[in-house]
Amino acid sequence: MRPARIGMITPSSNTAIEPITTRIFAALGEAVTVHFTRIRVTHISLEPSSLDQFTAAAMTEAARLLADARVDVIAWNGTSGAWKGLQTDREIVDRIQSETGIPATTSTLDLLEACRRLGITRCGLATPYLPEVHEAIRRTLAAEDLEVVASAFLGITVNHEFAEVPLPRIEALLAEVALPAADGIAVVCTNFPAAAVVDRVEAATARPVVDTLAATAWRTLRLAGVRQPVRGFGQLLARP
C-alpha cells in the first residue's frame, strides 16, 4: 500500500511551512509524504495589491500541478481567508475540488475545525500582522462563533519577516493572550513558526493552542485517512 500523499499550496515567500510540516510528518515514517507548490505572495495588508495575490484562479492552477502528483488531499496552506472572509476560502475549496476531483481544505477552515475539536469557543488571538488585518481576523472568527477575548499582534506586513521572529518572542506573544477568560489560544499565520513552541506554551498556560500551520497538518492527515498521533507540536496533533 502506498503512503498517503498530502499536497500543499504555499505562499512564495513562506519559509516556515515546508520545514515544520516536514518535521511533523517525519514522525509518521513512511505512512505519508508531502508535496508542495507555490503562488506568489510577498506582503500582507488590506490594500488591493495584497488582497489580489489570493485569487481562486491562482489557487486552481497550483492545485492542478499538485493533482499531477496524484495527491490524496490539497490544502491552501495560507490564512488569507481569515481577513478576506471565509467565502473566499470556500470558493477556493469548491474550485479545487471541481477542477481536480481531490478533497481540498484551507488553513483558516482547519483552524476553526481544530478549535471545535478542542472545545475552544473563547480564544486569545495572536498574529504577526498589522492591527487592521488582525481586527479583520477577529471579525471572521467571531462570525464563526469563536469569540476573541484577548489580542496580541506584531504589526508586520512583509511576509518573509514573519518567519524571522525569534521563538522566545513568539512564546511571549502567545502568553500575552492566555487570559483567564480564554479557553484556548489561536495563532493565525502559516509563516509564523509558532508550532515549535506550542508544547511549551500549553504546559505553561494550561490551555490548548491551535496554530494554523499545525492545524493544517492535522486536518490534511485526517482527510487522507491518517490518524496516528504526532507528539511535540501540541495536543491537537497528539490526539489519535
| Rounded-to-integer distance, Cα 3 and Cα 162, Å | 32
Give residue 34's pLDDT band: very low, low, confident or very high (50, 70, 90). Answer: very high
Give residue 60's pLDDT band: very low, low, confident or very high (50, 70, 90). Answer: very high
Mention the CATH class of domain 109-211: alpha beta
For the ranges 46-50, 109-113, 182-186, the lowest mean pLDDT is seen at 46-50
| Rounded-to-integer distance, Cα 109 and Cα 144, Å | 10
Mention the CATH class of domain 4-107+214-238: alpha beta
Backbone angles phi, psi at 54, to 5 degrees: -110, 65
Pairing between β-strand 104-106 and β-strand 147-153 as defined by DSSP bridges? unpaired
Q: What is the arrangement of strands in the sheet containing 184-187, beginning at the earlier edge strand? A: 147-153, 122-127, 184-187, 209-211
What's the sign of the alpha-carbon dihedral 187, 136, 96, 222?
positive
- pLDDT for 113 equals 98
- Could you tell me the residue ranges of all domains in the chain? 4-107+214-238, 109-211
Q: What is the pLDDT of residues 118-149, one digit of tens each?
A: 999 999 999 999 999 999 999 999 999 999 99
- pLDDT for 145 equals 97
Name the one residue in this structure whose C-alpha cell is 475539536. 117
- pLDDT for 234 equals 97
* Matching fold, domains 4-107+214-238 and 109-211: yes
- pLDDT for 183 equals 97
Q: What is the pTM of this model?
A: 0.95
Give residue 50's pLDDT band: very low, low, confident or very high (50, 70, 90). Answer: confident
Give residue 51's pLDDT band: very low, low, confident or very high (50, 70, 90). Answer: confident
Q: Is the pLDDT of residue 3 over 80?
A: yes
Pairing between β-strand 4-11 and β-strand 73-76 as defined by DSSP bridges? parallel
Give residue 227's pLDDT band: very low, low, confident or very high (50, 70, 90). Answer: very high
Q: Is the pLDDT of residue 240 over 80?
A: no
Residues 6+ apart with CB under 8 A from 169: none
* Nearest of 207, 178, 180, 209 to residue 192 by alpha carbon: 209
